[in-house]
Amino acid sequence: MLSIGTDMTAQKKIAAALKESEERYRFLVENAPLSITVVQGDRTRFVNRFGLDASGYTREEILSRPFLDFVHPEDRGLVYANHNRQMKGEKVAGLYSFRALMKSGESRWYDIKSVPVTWNGAPATMNYYIDVSERKSIEDTLHSVNGKLLLLSRITRHDLGNQITALRGFIDLSRAHTGDPGRLAGYLERMESIAGTLSEQLQFTRDYGELDLMSPQWLNLGEVFEKVAAQLPLDEVSLSLPEKNPDIYVDPLFSKVCYNLIEDSLRYGGEQLTEISVAAETRRSRAHRHVRDNGIGVPDSDKERIFDMGFGKKYRVWPLFVSGESSP
């Protein structure tokens, strides 16, 4: 009898070691403190436990649907393009951000890092996700704060420039009428009023630097207009307010908008200007606030562009850009 045998001990050891290594790797991936998926074609082939807990979906829900179903519609083009390029072996950004859709309906920002892998013998990508929603929220807040401070700087330069121009005008008039005590008294009164307006504007600028004041506040519409009107020379021009002045939840810069609107009416309304009116109404569950005057107005052909930065210089009504930027 002839017996031939093969010693399989070495192969068995290699197979056992490979299986143990795979189990360790799967354990690490499954229990990693970040979301991990494997995407192949248009489907997710694997998602770890952290990813399930973060998204709120079951494993079956994620594996049975196209992976783009879980991406915000506005970001699907970006995610699909990067996945496609990586599947073709092309180089993509090492890290990029997108919004993922949670089962709760919430969207959250994630940074994603993808690497090419082979999954069940076919090309795929392994994707690592880090939730950066809080960071994005802070970035958005900083962007908003910086934008408001820049806008306030522009408004302040414009308003102070107007007041200083007026002040110089009254100084020149005072010099020309030194022998007329009656006129001098009137000019001094106007200059004192301008000084008070300058002081209030500087105080507002200083206070607005406090973060608490940058947040929206409840303001009474009538009180806002009455306060800003007191800083401007209405003289014979009447200001009419709604019988019922509502409280509105707005950025404090809204008061600057009101100031600019009244100032522009006075400056460019012409001799026929006699009335500025403020109205408040509700249409289709939306609140509307209107400021009108009976001055010469702006041609219909220019009304759509009057809020564009720079275009308003044609009428010297640059503050309308500010109104468009800061209106609630």
Contact 121, 42 (CB under 8 A): no
Residue 324 confidence (pLDDT) above 60: no
What is the pLDDT at residue 129?
95
Whole-angstrom Cα distance, residue 163 to residue 119?
72
- Backbone angles phi and psi of 15, in degrees to 5: -65, -40
**Residue corresponding to tokens 């820049």:** 150
What is the pLDDT at residue 245?
81
Q: What percent of the chain lies above the pLDDT cut of 70? A: 80
What is the gyration radius of the CA atoms in the chain, in angstroms? 33
Residue 314 confidence (pLDDT) above 80: no
* Banded pLDDT at 313 (limits 50, 70, 90): very low
Here the tokens at position 172 are 């020149």
Residue 27 confidence (pLDDT) above 80: no
* Banded pLDDT at 109 (limits 50, 70, 90): very high
Contact 90, 82 (CB under 8 A): no
235-241 average pLDDT score: 88
Per-residue model confidence as pLDDT tens digits over 43-98: 999 999 999 999 999 999 999 999 999 999 999 999 999 999 988 888 887 789 99
* Banded pLDDT at 271 (limits 50, 70, 90): confident
Query: From residue 184, how far is each of 63, 169, 172, 189 by CA, in Å?
Result: 85, 13, 11, 8
Spatial CB neighbours of 117, under 8 Å, sequence gap ≥ 6: 38, 123, 124, 125, 126
* Banded pLDDT at 307 (limits 50, 70, 90): low
Query: From residue 14, how far is each of 8, 36, 270 by CA, in Å?
Result: 10, 28, 94
Q: Which residues are paired to 37 by β-bridges?
A: 47, 127
Spatial CB neighbours of 65, under 8 Å, sequence gap ≥ 6: 43
Spatial CB neighbours of 43, under 8 Å, sequence gap ≥ 6: 63, 65, 66, 67
Residue 267 confidence (pLDDT) above 50: yes
